[in-house]
Amino acid sequence: MSRFKQQTTAVVLAFEAGLGFLAVLAGRGLGFDPLQTIGFDRPASELTIACLWGGVAALPLLVGLVILDRQPRVLSDFKEKINSVVLPMFKGLSIVEVAAISAAAGFGEELLFRGLVQSGLQTWLDVPYGWALALAVASLVFGICHWLNTTYAVLATGIGIYLGGLFLLVGGLAAPIVTHGLFDFVAIIYLARVSRWPRGEKNDDPNQTTSTEP
Q: What are residue 200's phi and psi, to 5 degrees?
A: 80, 15
Q: Which of 185, 154, 180 lies closest to 167 in space, CA to CA?
A: 180
Is the pLDDT higher at 108 or at 5?
A: 108
Average pLDDT, the chain: 88
Greatest mean pLDDT among 81-85, 138-142, 199-203 lies in: 138-142
pLDDT at 27: 94
Contact indicator for 151, 75 with CB cutoff of 8 Å: yes
Contact indicator for 27, 33 with CB cutoff of 8 Å: yes
d(CA 39, CA 34): 10
DSSP 209: -
